[in-house]
């Protein structure tokens, strides 16, 4: 790679929220309207699993249990993916990372400070319902009731503190994702447009 993360011009939006809160759905709409580069840490990990590599096999075991994969693994994947798009990217939309405060701190050190954190918020009951439904067709090994429960627990324990961490810098926009998708997106658009 001729570019390093330090030499590229970009800005970073983070998409956070519980499993099944609607991050992926909103990210798709953001990409369609704003053309940002969408990097879902979960998707990057699933691609590694699908490749059948030795590393992928280890990741699969962790993800199936609903636990977090080692911090450096995910961060390296995100960074590589950012560099690969550096020439064409208008900005990055990072979905599902950071998952714990330590991951946020490492992101700042190795990549930079995000401009905005979109926090899509839904009730636990709603998230479980959506994930069980998604599990009917997603083929995801972790969309089953037992793993969903673990992912939710870990979300409240490890990921919600990340939001508090960024709230101190006033870059968090909390968005009610109990609403229909288009109404959620209208709020998302407003938050992004205010950045400019
Ligand atoms: N930064 C990340 C992102 C993902 N994962 C692993 O990958 C799984 C799936 O991640 P993701 O697709 O982001 O899942 P959720 O947010 O739980 O669900 P969703 O796709 O519904 O957003 C997680 O449970 C976890 O095991 C991780 O360890 N660290
Ligand atoms: N009613 C409603 N359903 C949604 C909304 N956003 C997502 N969903 C559904 O909830 C499920 C999980 O959404 P997804 O975007 O994969 O969530 P993620 O886990 O946060 O990435 C999907 O099956 C979506 O169709 C929303 O705003 N309203
Ligand atoms: Mg997702």
| Domain containing residue 113: CATH number | 3.40.50.300
Task: State pLDDT tens for residues 77-133.
Answer: 999 999 999 888 889 999 999 999 999 999 999 998 999 999 999 999 999 999 999
Residue 183 lies in a domain: yes
| Host domain of residue 130 | 12-194
Residue with tokens 């208008």: 90
Q: What ipTM describes this predicted complex?
A: 0.89
Q: CB under 6 Å to ligand 2: residues?
A: 17, 19-25, 130, 133-134, 177, 180-181, 184
The string of DSSP codes covering 76-132 is HHHHHHHHHTTTT-S-EEEES---SHHHHHHHHHHT---SEEEEEE--HHHHHHHHH
Beta strand pairing call for 12-16 and 37-40:
unpaired
What is the percentage of the chain residues whose pLDDT exceeds 90?
Answer: 88
pLDDT at 158 over 90: yes
Residue 103 lies in a domain: yes
Q: What is the largest CA-CA distance in the chain?
A: 47
Nearest to 115 by CA among 174, 188, 196, 190: 196
Which residues line ion ligand 3, judged by CB < 5 Å? 24
Residue 154 lies in a domain: yes
């Amino acid at each position: 790679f001729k570019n390093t993360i330090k030499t590229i011009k970009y800005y970073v939006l983070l998409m956070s929220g519980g499993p099944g809160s609607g991050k992926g759905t909103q990210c798709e709409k953001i990409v369609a309207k704003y053309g940002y580069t969408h990097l879902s840490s979960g998707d990057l990990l699933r691609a590694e699993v699908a490749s059948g590599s030795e590393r992928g096999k280890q990741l699969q075991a962790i993800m199936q249990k609903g636990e977090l994969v080692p911090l450096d693994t995910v961060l390296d994947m995100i960074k590589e993916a950012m560099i690969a798009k550096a020439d064409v990217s208008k900005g990055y939309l990072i979905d599902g990372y950071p998952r714990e405060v330590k991951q946020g701190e490492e992101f700042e050190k190795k990549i930079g400070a995000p401009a905005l954190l979109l926090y899509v918020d839904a009730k636990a009951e709603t998230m479980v319902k959506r994930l069980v439904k998604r599990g009917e067709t997603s083929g995801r090994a972790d969309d089953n009731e037992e793993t969903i429960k673990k992912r939710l627990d870990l979300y409240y324990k490890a990921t919600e503190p990340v939001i508090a961490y960024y709230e101190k810098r006033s870059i968090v926009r909390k968005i009610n994702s109990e609403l229909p998708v288009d109404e959620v997106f209208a709020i998302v658009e407003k938050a992004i447009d205010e950045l400019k």
